[in-house]
Structures are given as structure tokens and as C-alpha cells.
Amino acid sequence: MTLTDPSFIRRLDTLYLLARKILGGSLQSDRRSTKKGAGITFADYAQYTLGDDYRSIDWRIYAKFESLLIKLFELEEDATIYLLLDCSPSMKGKMGYAQQLAAALGYIALNTLDRLCVYGLADHLKPLFEPCRGRNQVIPFLRSLEAAPCFGVDTDLSVCAREFEARHRRKGLVCVISDFLLPKGFDEGLSRLQWHKHEVFCLQTVDQNDLKCDLKGDVTLECVETGQTQKVTVSPQEAKLYEAAVAEWNAQLRQTCAKRGLGYMQATPEVSFETVITDLLRRGGLVA
């Protein structure tokens, strides 16, 4: 099934309706700005000065105190959703699942008229879908996501974060979809993504091949990203050490997200993308 298949889009639409019901449509639970202006939620009073909109004058205050005050309201700002999809070779077996997760998040964003921008992550940042908004962008977005190639030799989150930092200084919500099995780690990259006060959410996609080691005896291992090979002997003890190391790595990712105030969720292909997104929405969206 392709991402533009009508039956798949109907599944996405069901998730969008759920998002609208639970969160009022947005992937962010609170989009109110600290700026004040012409909105709908009352924020404060200010003294009327020449040039202010007279329609904002509170005439009840004037009738009582003979003072001209205008009402200020909190502005509702459009959210900017940045999806960073890991397209490195290590994601090949999980790419279809990661694309479905990204498709659901992007579909909700476009249907709620939020700005959406999508990049591929590997050893550099690759634009997949330029910033835009509107329901009429859904099909172009899904096609660009479907055509996203695997590239690079590994995932360097720090390099990608520096490129992202240089391109986007407008505050937004950054969702990183990756297995986070990164040779150079994730701490510096996540720190850089927060630099311009972006909200960051880590959606970790892993499968059983990442978590378990079923190899036995003498084997030749080949790195899917660098192509390097190494002969090893895998005993039950080595298999247990591998599984413990992966579990510790994932635990460090969760702890880093908690320490930095980042959102985090782990997803596996054994669980449908609808179940993952529904759980995410019920937790409050892409927020910590």
C-alpha cells in the first residue's frame, strides 16, 4: 500500500478527526503566545493612546472611572512543525513504518493549517518537503515522503542539527523520527535542536532485530551503513551482553529526553502506526 492510496488516506483522516477532538486539531497542546494583540483570549488592559483601535476601548471601564483603557488579547500563533526523518541505511528495514508515522503527523499538521517542513537525516540534512501549509499540500507531501531515499553512510545528529539551526530560527516543534542508534551519540544533537527554543520530540522507531540477538556461533557481521565487515563468535553470553547494551542505550535516550524536557515515545512495527499516534494524541500531542 502506498502513502497516497485512498484507503491509507482514510486512515490518516480518522487520526486527524481524533486529533481535532482531543487537542482541538493541533499537535501542540498549548499554542498561545506571550505576545498581545487582536486575539480572542483576554490578557490585560493598556492605556489608550492616539492611533489605537477605538473598538478595543472598554466603555464600561470608562463609564465607571472616566479612563480610556483598551483590551489586549493573547495571540494564537500558527505552529511550525518540523519533521526530521532518519533516512540512513540502518533504517531500511523500518523505513516504511517510519514513513507512516511521519505521514500521520504531517497530515494532521497540514489539515490544521500549521506550517510543515520535512527533512531527511543521515550524514547531512536533506530537504524533503519545503515549508508550506494548507490541505491542498497533502498529496505533494505524501508523494515526497514516499520518494524519500535512504542516503549517507550513517546518522550524524550533531551535523544535521547544526545545518537545521542555520536554516530555521523561527520557534517551532521539531519531531525526530529515528532509531537513535547513532555512532556519535545523540546528546549534542538534541541540545542543538533546542538552541532557538524549539520544542523537541523524539519518536524512536526500533524493531526486534535491534533489541534481540538471535545469532549463534561463528558469523561475519556487516555494518549496513559503512559496509565494514568483522568476523565474530557469538555465544549466549555475548548475545545477552548485546541485548543489555541496547537496553542501556535506549534507557539513556529516555533519561536524556526527561532531563532536557523533551518529549519521547518508542514505537515498533509490531504496533500499528494508528495505535502509536492515538497514544501520542491522548498523552497531549508532541509535547514533553
pLDDT of residue 25: 67
Q: Is the pLDDT of residue 193 over 70?
A: yes
pLDDT at residue 41, rounded to an integer = 57
pLDDT in tens, 253-279: 999 999 999 999 999 999 999 999 999
3-state DSSP of the chain = CCCCCHHHHHHHHHHHHHHHHHHCCCCCCCCEEEEEECCCEEEEEEECCCCCCHHHECHHHHHHHCCCEEEEEEEECCCEEEEEEECCHHHHHHHHHHHHHHHHHHHHHHHCCCEEEEEEECCCEEEEEEEECCHHHHHHHHHHHHCCCCCCCCCCHHHHHHHHHHHCCCCCEEEEEECCCCCCCCHHHHHHHCCCCCEEEEEEECCHHHHCCCCCEEEEEECCCCCCEEEEEECHHHHHHHHHHHHHHHHHHHHHHHHHCCEEEEECCCCCHHHHHHHHHHCCCCCC
**What are 33-54's pLDDT values in tens digits?**
444 445 555 556 677 777 677 7
